[in-house]
């Protein structure tokens, strides 16, 4: 393909960047995963640990990733090439691009289910399966249908490709500016509905009362692992979004706002879901199935549930969409920057490749259900590899790179641009950032990795 040098794209505004990056962060991790892992690990006790992980590891690494992107104005591979040119560090960039592909391959499958559930909600089928077990059976039946499963995976992937196809400002930024406020409004409406149901206080206390007995050593590692996934860290998605920033943007304040929004949405999602689950007398511990088995039943038991069900799955789908867009953008930006491809061609080719690798994940719940590698089906393997190994590994290496290879002298010169006020008024924030990136992040993430590999 022809190598043409066209001017690199930029965000239209700082707010556009914050919404797009918050869109990447806020996804299935917040609405599908966070509520049930918080419920399983001691409610407020877990949330407390999670907030510490976000503050001392998540935020510092996010600042570092965005900084690497803005400094180099490149994709993950190009960024390491520009700053070090060592083969090892360039391969860390490749690891990010690869992780993006792997996450996409299962992310689009769950997102496809969510898209399919909008139609289930519209058809009123939740009312036909309004018992916990009939609802669970209905879900199993749907995901065992190759056409339903693959059909919605493809439809969701095509939506993702559409936004990336139109580019940074006209596709990703514009889409985020519409979808993110919509997502917020729908979630607040659902939370208000949940809080006004009789018996909702049990749901609030389930989530917000600390149950220290349920908090184990592994809960801490789960909290740290989830901090990476939910903030889209460790694979260069935030680096890539940072690379479209202009130099005058304040990385400290925008990263803090992104983390704040991501955490707020996870908490409101938890409230919206558990108030409704408790008020309608459903089992809160369905784990990953909570959203697809339990919630459909919950909706049939509340007034206006037909409409709230449609709204909920619409919300979940747009949350997943703004995240999937960022995953595809990492791959596309690599081919545009490094290989001189045209964006449109890169989107079509790598959307197609994503589809090919999503097929085995999608078929894991039906024809490939018995096909196992290392005891895991393809879907679980992709999830485990990316979320438990590649993201923490990427995050650890990115911190090591900033602190020990690139060096704080150079990093701080870059960081200061757009954030002079913090350097003069609150220098202790800068010192804290350095300590977290240099010591806390590498050591704590190393522990998470050992745990993921079953060594700890």
- The residues of the shown chain that bind ligand PFF, judged by CB under 6 A, are 24-25, 27-30, 103, 229-230, 232, 235, 237, 323, 326-327
Q: How far apart are CB 177 and ligand PFF at their closest, in Å?
A: 19
Provide the minimum distance between the beta carbon of 123 and ligand PFF in the complex, in angstroms, as a whole number.
Answer: 27
**Least distance (Å) between residue 448 CB and ligand PFF:** 15
Place of tokens 């061609």: 345
Q: What is the nearest approach in angstroms of ligand PFF to the Cβ of residue 325? A: 9
Closer CB to ligand PFF, residue 250 or residue 387? 387
Specify the residue, 232 or 275, whose C-beta has the smaller distance to ligand PFF.
232
The nearest distance, CB 184 to ligand PFF, in angstroms, is: 15
Nearer to ligand PFF, 97 or 271 (CB): 97
- Shortest distance, position 387 Cβ to ligand PFF, whole Å: 8
Contact between 333 and 240 under an 8 Å Cβ cutoff? The reply is yes
| Short-list 154, 163, 95, 164, CA closest to 342 | 164
Terminal C-alpha separation, the chain: 47
Q: What is the CA radius of gyration of the chain?
A: 21
Contacts for 333 with CB less than 8 Å, ≥ 6 apart: 75, 240, 243
Residue 50 CB, shortest distance to ligand PFF, in Å, is 13
Cα 296–chain centre separation = 23
Best CA proximity match to 104, nearest among 347, 361, 393, 336: 361
Q: Which is nearer to ligand PFF, 60 or 236 (CB)?
A: 236
In the bound complex, what is the minimum distance in angstroms from residue 329's beta carbon to ligand PFF? 9
Beta bridge partners of 376: 373
Q: Are 31 and 262 in contact (CB under 8 A)?
A: no
The contacts of residue 134 (CB under 8 Å, 6+ apart) are: 128
Least spacing, CB of residue 424 vs ligand PFF, in Å: 33
The set of residues, in sequence order, having a beta carbon less than 8 Å from that of 204 and lying 6+ positions away, is 195, 271, 274, 275
Q: Which is nearer to ligand PFF, 115 or 422 (CB)?
A: 115
* Complex with ligand PFF: residue 236 or 305, whichever CB lies closer: 236
**Two structure tokens written together for 216:** 């184990």
Supply the minimum distance, in Å, between the C-beta of residue 426 and ligand PFF: 28
Q: Say if CB 314 and CB 340 are below 8 A apart.
A: no
Q: Which is nearer to ligand PFF, 232 or 452 (CB)?
A: 232
Residue nearest to ligand PFF (CB): 29
Yes or no: say if 437 and 60 are a contact pair by the CB < 8 Å rule: yes
- Contacts of residue 321, defined as CB under 8 A and 6 or more positions apart, other chains included, come to 111, 156, 159, 160, 163, 175, 179
Residues in the chain: 456
Based on CB atoms, which residue is closest to ligand PFF, 282 or 361?
A: 361
Q: In 280-371, which residue ranges form alpha helices assigned H by DSSP?
A: 294-300, 305-339, 343-363
The structure tokens listed for 259 are 């983390």
Instruction: Calculate the alpha carbon distances from 299 to 202, 226, 288, 452 in Å.
Output: 18, 28, 18, 36
- CB nearer to ligand PFF: pick between 167 and 236: 236
Q: Which is nearer to ligand PFF, 215 or 328 (CB)?
A: 328
- The tokens for 442 are 């590498």
């Amino acid at each position: 393909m022809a190598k043409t040098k066209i001017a690199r794209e930029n965000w239209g505004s700082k707010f556009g960047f914050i919404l797009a990056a918050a869109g990447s962060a806020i996804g299935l991790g917040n609405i599908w995963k966070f509520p049930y892992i918080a419920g399983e690990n001691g409610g407020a006790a877990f949330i407390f640990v999670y907030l510490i992980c976000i503050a001392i590891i998540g935020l510092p690494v996010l600042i570092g990733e965005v900084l690497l992107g803005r400094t180099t104005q490149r994709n993950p591979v190009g960024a390491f090439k520009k700053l070090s040119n060592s083969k090892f560090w360039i391969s860390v960039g490749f690891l990010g691009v690869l992780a993006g592909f792997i996450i996409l391959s299962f992310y689009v499958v769950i997102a496809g289910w969510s898209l399919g559930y909008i139609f289930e909600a519209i058809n009123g089928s939740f009312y036909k399966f309004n018992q916990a077990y009939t609802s669970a059976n209905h879900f199993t039946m749907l995901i065992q249908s190759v056409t339903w499963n693959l059909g919605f995976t493809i439809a969701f992937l095509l939506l993702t490709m559409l936004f990336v196809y139109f580019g940074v400002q006209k596709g990703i930024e514009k889409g985020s500016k519409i979808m993110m406020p919509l997502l917020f409004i729908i979630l607040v409406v659902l939370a208000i509905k949940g809080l006004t149901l009789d018996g909702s206080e049990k749901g609030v206390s389930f989530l917000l009362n600390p149950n220290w007995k349920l908090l184990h050593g592994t809960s801490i590692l789960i909290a740290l692992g989830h901090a990476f996934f939910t903030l889209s860290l460790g694979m260069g998605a935030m680096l890539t979004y940072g690379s479209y920033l202009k130099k005058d943007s304040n990385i400290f304040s925008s990263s803090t706002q992104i983390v704040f929004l991501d955490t707020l949405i996870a908490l409101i999602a938890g409230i919206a879901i558990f108030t409704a689950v408790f008020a309608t007398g459903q089992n809160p511990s369905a784990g990953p199935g909570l959203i697809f088995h339990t919630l459909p039943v919950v909706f049939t038991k509340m007034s206006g549930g037909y409409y709230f069900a449609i709204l909920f799955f619409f919300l979940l789908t747009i949350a997943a969409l703004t995240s999937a867009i960022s995953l595809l953008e990492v791959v596309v930006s690599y081919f545009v920057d490094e290989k001189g491809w045209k964006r449109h061609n890169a989107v079509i080719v790598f959307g197609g490749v994503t589809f090919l690798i999503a097929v085995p994940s999608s078929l894991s719940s039906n024809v490939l259900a018995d096909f196992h590698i290392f005891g895991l089906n393809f879907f679980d393997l992709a999830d485990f590899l990316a979320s438990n190994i590649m993201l923490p590994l990427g995050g650890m290496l990115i911190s090591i790179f900033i602190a020990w290879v690139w060096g704080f002298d150079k990093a701080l010169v870059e960081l200061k641009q757009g954030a002079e006020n913090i350097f003069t008024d609150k220098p202790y924030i800068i010192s804290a950032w350095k300590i977290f990136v240099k010591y806390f992040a590498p050591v704590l993430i190393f522990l998470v990795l050992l745990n993921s590999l079953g060594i700890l």
